Structure 1
Amino acid sequence: MHAFSEFQAWQNDGSDILLPLPAEFSFEQNYDHLATATDESLYTLREGKIYKAIAVGLRDTVVEVAPHGNTHLRISFIEEPDADCPELRAGVARYVHDWFDLGTDLAPFYEMARRDPLLKGAVESFYGLRNMGIPDLYEAICWGILGQQINLAFAYTLKKRFVEAYGRSVERGGERYWLFPAAETIAALTPEELFAAGMTTVKKCEYLVDTARLVVNGGLTREALLETGDVRRAEKMLVKIRGIGPWTAHYVLMRCLRMPDAFPIDDVGLHHSIRHVLGLGAKPSRERILELSAGWTKWESYATFYLWRILY
């Protein structure tokens, strides 16, 4: 089992929230990882602290996330009139817990990785890094679709256009913070309207709209994917949806559903990282990657994330 629990306890500290941290956690490593994103629209980094808008039910709020010693994250509300609302506080605590993947026990992963020639250097360099997730299913699928067949920098540009055209914003402290577009908002659009907003192809716009409608109609839920209990069954469920291939499916299962054996084996970034670590003259074959990853059982997701971090 990877998880300590579904959701660890949190506590109030005045108007702030203190969220307990597992031993294998480094705020600096996760902050540095977030800082690599170019043109990021969904969080702001300032002076060692993370600022993010979070939706809890019908409430939109903005929080500051910072370390509190080595044992907790401190979550502070920014100009929030309902900061004492129990449901809001619980929802924010749960979101941040999920975002930082605080429920996963990384000790077994590190034990395995230190003996693995591909992973040894990565876990030494990035010890305490978490697979920073995307808790919302529709957001995770959109990010997978937007990133198909383009470089990462341009994917961030597309995401920013998408967010600022159709997302909600919250103003706090003279700053504007954005929330990812709701599936309901995109479901009401036509692909042509999305394309006019700066997306790259009409096909991608069709995928984004079709998936939004599927989510809104209840045809695709986190619960249904989790109930499969198996990464292969969940992958089959996702690839039946137009615009979602094996890479996008495993990306979603890795970043949103937290399936530990999700493995986007055909990812170009993964290939480049393996080639870099091993000093290969060409990218490794699929068969070679399967050989190299034979010892990663139930840790394929984290192994991939750490190898990505070498390059990004």
Structure 2
Amino acid sequence: MPSYQPGTLPWCEQTSTLTLPLPAIFNYEHNLGYLSRSTNECLFHVDNSDIYKLLPVGDNLVLIAVNSPDNKELHIRILSGPEDLSSPLLHEAIARYVWGWFDLETDLAPFYELAGGDPLLSRVTQDFYGLRLLGIPDLFEAMSWGIIGQQINLTFAYTLKRRLVEAYGTPLTWQDRTYWAFPAPGRIAGLAPEALTALQFTGKKAEYLIGIARLMAEGTLNLEALLERGDYGAMEQELLSIRGIGPWTANYVLMRCLRNPAAFPIADVGLHNALKHVLGLEAKPTLPEIRRLAGGWKGWEAYATFYLWRVLY
């Protein structure tokens, strides 16, 4: 689990620029390639080598641009925000978010050692050397994206996410482009399911999303309390106790938000298609076959899954 604590992250600051040191195993282009996989992404914008993202920081919206010219440092420019762009608290919040987003805490050397001896992972880790498991630091966004993606293709999932964000998220316009922050739980908690079915959510998904938003808005469910458990099994059980969260969604959230390297969404269709492609099979492997293939990934199932997803884009 990430050991980052407030005030301990190594970073330099200027009035409107932060610089984060990067781990040895990092390749910006491969991470940028993953983030560029959909032209319908609405929560960040990729322009050449810059990644633009709108972050809610306290009561403010902050627009940042991220880049790395040398794979040694990650440069973060603060483009729009509160009046005092040099605030240490503002810089701390931005640095914390980006640190988690790019999973910069994780030492990938053990994963690469494991992958080097694995016939499925050795080639894909060479092809995408330095790819990090790009995360979703916001728990409500991660859970919402997991619910949105249940039993539909990725293209339509992006369409539903855009509809939700543009209907209930928060916009900021900068230099003639509008950027969006994901809806706050309180905004969704007060909706009736019909508000979401009008966007083509199924009735069940609408109920699930509103139910989770209510849990978070009332404080029953929050990221800090989950992480304080310190045990991924306990986190998974708590997630599974929530209506609409099954094993696939729970492991997706553990993987992308709670940062469990052993999280394994084994029922994921994308993983099945990737394995079919890498193995040159005529049909997707069965769950028992996947368990056998993944026998050597223990402790790194999340990263193995993420790298295999990458071969599809």
- For Structure 1 versus Structure 2, the TM-score category normalised by the shorter chain is over 0.9
Contact 1:61 1:77 in 2 (8 A): yes
* CA offsets 1:179-198 (integer angstroms, 9 cap, x no match): 000001001111112222x1
Q: CA deviation at 1:32?
A: 0.8
Q: Quick one: structure 1 residues 3 and 200, their matched pair in 2 at CA, closer, same or farther if it must change by over 3 Å?
A: closer
How many residues were matched structurally? 310
Q: Which residue of 2 aligns with 1:99?
A: 101
Q: CA deviation at 1:216?
A: 1.2
Q: Which residue of 2 aligns with 1:178?
A: 180
Q: Quick one: structure 1 residues 79 and 182, their matched pair in 2 at CA, closer, same or farther if it must change by over 3 Å?
A: closer
Contact 1:8 1:103 in 2 (8 A): no
Q: Which residue of 1 aligns with 2:70?
A: 69
- Superposition pairs of residues 109-128 of structure 1, within 5 angstroms: 109-128=111-130
* CA offsets 1:58-94 (integer angstroms, 9 cap, x no match): 1111011111433111111114432111111110111
Question: Percent identity of the aligned residues?
Answer: 53
Match of 1:304, SS state, is: helix
Q: Which residue of 1 aligns with 2:307?
A: 306
Contact 2:12 2:18 in 1 (8 A): yes
Q: CA deviation at 1:166?
A: 0.1
Q: Which residue of 1 aligns with 2:84?
A: 82
* CA offsets 1:213-255 (integer angstroms, 9 cap, x no match): 0011122122332233333322221111111111000000100
After superposition, the CA RMSD in angstroms is 1.5
2:267 counterpart of 1:266: yes
Q: Quick one: structure 1 residues 248 and 231, their matched pair in 2 at CA, closer, same or farther if it must change by over 3 Å?
A: same
Please give the alpha-carbon distance, in whole angstroms, between the structure 2 residues aligned to 1:147 and 1:307: 18
2:177 counterpart of 1:189: no
Please give the alpha-carbon distance, in whole angstroms, between the structure 2 residues aligned to 1:259 and 1:203: 28
- Superposition pairs of residues 6-155 of structure 1, within 5 angstroms: 8-80=9-81, 81-155=83-157
Please give the alpha-carbon distance, in whole angstroms, between the structure 1 residues aligned to 2:124 and 2:226: 30
Contact 1:79 1:173 in 2 (8 A): no
Contact 1:4 1:104 in 2 (8 A): no
Contact 2:134 2:256 in 1 (8 A): yes
Q: CA deviation at 1:199?
A: 3.0
Please give the alpha-carbon distance, in whole angstroms, between the structure 1 residues aligned to 2:14 and 2:43: 26
Q: Quick one: structure 1 residues 240 and 19, their matched pair in 2 at CA, closer, same or farther if it must change by over 3 Å?
A: same
Contact 1:199 1:205 in 2 (8 A): no
1:279 is aligned with what amino acid?
A: G
Contact 2:64 2:80 in 1 (8 A): no
Please give the alpha-carbon distance, in whole angstroms, between the structure 2 residues aligned to 1:244 and 1:169: 29
Q: TM-score, normalised by structure 1?
A: 0.95
Please give the alpha-carbon distance, in whole angstroms, between the structure 1 residues aligned to 2:88 and 2:229: 32
Please give the alpha-carbon distance, in whole angstroms, between the structure 1 residues aligned to 2:246 and 2:117: 33
Please give the alpha-carbon distance, in whole angstroms, between the structure 1 residues aligned to 2:3 and 2:229: 21
Q: Which residue of 2 aligns with 1:287?
A: 288
Gaps of 5+ in 1: none
1:218 is aligned with what amino acid?
A: G
